[in-house]
Structure 1
Amino acid sequence: MIRVVIEGGKESVQINAFPDYCPFCHVGITPDFVTGLFGSTKASVEALFTCPKVSCKKMFIGTYSHNGMNGCYYLGLVSPSTLKPAAIADEAAEISPQFAEIFSQASQAEGYGLGAVAGVGYRKSLEYLIKDYCVAQHPDKDDDIKKQPIGQVIDRFVSNENIKQCAKRAVWLGNDETHYVRKWVDKDVKDLKLLIHITVSWIQQEVITKKLLEDMQ
């Protein structure tokens, strides 16, 4: 239990614990306590904290509720609630910065419960990833790749069979997210996201392998 001074030093209360993570940088911390205030009644306390990390230093609020038994206030909500950025392989982000940006936005939408919107975003991010990957492989076919439907691009310009098969299926599920009637009724956004991750993984392995072989002639 921790006793803290609130209401500008007028009162002190006992709380069970400080928040153990920062909702902004998503790192485990012991935050710096700034001050606190009672809610509309003394049944709750809102405590202001600061992240101690030099690279963050953002303020956030921990809301505590009185359990009515031992006089202690217990931590409930930490706000504002922000989502951890999506993890994206550097190799994929280098090939297609737009993929990384759109995928991150789709992930944020999914995190906030906007699954229907997220599916469309994941589908769009996939198109950028595949077309930018193919342009990198075939720079002389830049215009053709950008103008053709994604399915034709995969068939014509993706030679790595693992990437081709995973990307194809990701497109199938991605199209379901944009159409009125679903063809793959037993699949959802999670399956689409998994296929995109696998596609990215195969692209990443191909890029890393190529660099290693070039460096070790």
Structure 2
Amino acid sequence: MKFITKSASSFYSSFSFKYQKPAICPHCGFGTDAIVKEKDYYSFNDGRLLISVCECTACHKFFFFACENPGTNTDDAPMVCMYPSTQIEPYKNENLAAISERFIDMYNQALQAEYNQNFELAAIGFRSSLEILIKDYAIQELGEPAETVAKQSLCNAIATYLQQADLVNTADVVRILGNDYTHYKRKYPEHDFVLLKKYMEIFLSQIEVKYMIKHPPVARS
């Protein structure tokens, strides 16, 4: 999160410290010196809590933030909370992480883009994370040479390493619709982002099932 440093004297004339005002709207993700609509402060012990409701200059939606100055010879008040949050709870999956940590990272970037309503970026991110997962699956689980796998296009990797029709069909939906968002003029505008994400979730479930079957926690003795 980026901030604009402001004087706290706008809250109360005798305040000589500075506070952090969010410089990015949590709704639209655009930079903004948001318009202050409401503000107040509360004193506690030796500190002060500043709270403010602002309106984004880009999307005109409202958001709330609070800053705390502990009052112990401190000249600033860092932000301590914001609503809505600009971050989401990270996606975690131990089974898929065992196949590809890089996939988990890329998938979380796509989910964050979706949360910020950047659906085109999210769609491209899902497509990229799909490619990472499939290629790492081929290397880690199928024992394919990394050099060979890396050179494959996503289309060829799907056909070569997944083989099962249900996996191929599901992955192809994500590949084709994800690619579609990179085009100046989309070929399949009738299929929206929600459908792409649904097939992405189905594919992840399928890959996780295959991983769990191959790596049972217990076995016959």
Q: TM-score, normalised by structure 2?
A: 0.61
Structure 2 equivalent of residue 210 of structure 1: 214
Report percent identity of matched pairs.
Answer: 27
Q: Name which of 106, 125, 129 aligns with 1:125.
A: 129
Deviation, 1:171, is: 0.5
Deviation, 1:207, is: 1.2
Question: Relative to structure 2, which stretch is displaced further, 130-139 or 81-90?
Answer: 81-90
CA gap of 1:155–1:84, structure 2 versus 1, over 3 A, is same
User: By percentage of residues, which structure has more helix?
Assistant: 1
1:147 correspondence with 2:151: yes
Q: Give me the whole-angstrom Cα distance separating, in 1, the residues matched to 2:53 and 2:207.
A: 47
Q: How does 1:56-205 map onto structure 2 within 5 Å?
A: 62-63=51-52, 77-78=64-65, 79=82, 81-205=85-209
- Structure 2: any 5+ residue segments left out of the alignment? 1-10, 13-35, 43-48, 55-62, 66-81
Amino acid at match of 1:192: L
> What's the CA shift string for 1:91-110, capped at 9, x where partnerless?
11221111111111121122
CA contact (8 A) 1:98 1:128 kept: yes
Q: Give me the whole-angstrom Cα distance separating, in 2, the residues matched to 1:171 and 1:135.
A: 20
- Structure 1: any 5+ residue segments left out of the alignment? 1-5, 8-39, 49-59, 66-75
CA gap of 1:163–1:89, structure 2 versus 1, over 3 A, is farther
Across the aligned residues of Structure 1 and Structure 2, the Cα RMSD in angstroms comes to 3.4
Deviation, 1:142, is: 2.4
Q: Give me the whole-angstrom Cα distance separating, in 2, the residues matched to 1:174 and 1:64.
A: 37
Q: Residue 85 of structure 1: SS of its match in structure 2?
A: coil
CA contact (8 A) 1:167 1:196 kept: yes
Pairs aligned (count): 163
Q: Residue 105 of structure 1: SS of its match in structure 2?
A: helix
Q: Residue 214 of structure 2: SS of its match in structure 1?
A: helix
Q: Give me the whole-angstrom Cα distance separating, in 1, the residues matched to 2:185 and 2:129.
A: 21
Q: Residue 139 of structure 1: SS of its match in structure 2?
A: coil
